[in-house]
Structure 1
Amino acid sequence: MIILGLDPSLSCTGWGVIRAEGSRLSHIANGQIATDARAPMEQRLAHLHAGVTAVIEAHRPDRGAVEEVFVNKNPQSTLKLAQARGSVLAACGGCRLPVREHSARLVKKALVGTGAAEKAQVQAMLRVLLPGVVIAGSDAADALAVAITEANLGPR
């Protein structure tokens, strides 16, 4: 089973692809899709959509998982995050990729054992679960964590 994990953000969306064979996990690829902060919103969203579509077409995952949106103190930030998430989900839908959503707290708990884990703890666990992995950045690390959470939750 090949699983695509996504960590949506308007500035930089992380993605990670893993293979799950029973309880064995292996890294396939990971990366980040950055947008130009000076570009108009519609171009940034189109760039995210195209980038996620390209990842899906390149790796042909069987299913996907995305981190749920969280509410920021700043409503504008929440709205931008939701728009980026919508673009990412639309790309998955356009490729007919089934997607489940997971809260950041569940992802941290699934990897580290506590929903209050720090990013450094999550990244350390990624290196244990995916030996030799070279992580493209913190957004890609978050996406790999989402993919592993999906793998651990099992079939729909």
Structure 2
Amino acid sequence: MTTNTSKRLLTAQKLISYYASLDPTILEPLLAPNLYHEFRPGSLDVPRGFDKPSFLGFCNSLGSIMTGFPFTAKEYIESEASNQVVVWATSKAQFREEVKDYEGMEASDWEFEGEYVLILTMDESRERIERYVEFLDSNATVQKLLGLMERAQKNLAKRG
């Protein structure tokens, strides 16, 4: 039995695969020129309201402190009617060795696992993302990830 994977679902799967390497050459063609990305929930104090160039810039900054941020999709839910794919996923941050420090920290303190729900609305080609709403693991993001990212950025600046 052959199953045909839709263009929408393939695009969502390519986006998930991007996070393993943070390679911008994988991400850029998946994003429509009129992309709008936002992090949610609104109660989080995180950047929001990215257009395509600013989202690519944000992702490039992740690449400066991480070798990857691989996502594992737990479930894909596709809607033909709304031209969307919803992805429930987990992730693990992989910080670059050169941005880590162990002053007051153990190696395990640099480990981060999160859980996400991504809502991806495609353009008419179903091969590019026009709207990307990313629900973050609120507690884990606030309690750990944002602090690790800030510390890594400071360490990078000291060494750079």
| TM-score under structure 2 length normalisation | 0.26
Q: Larger RCO: Structure 1 or Structure 2 (Cα < 8 Å, ≥ 6 residues apart)? A: 1
Structure whose residues are more often helix by fraction: 1
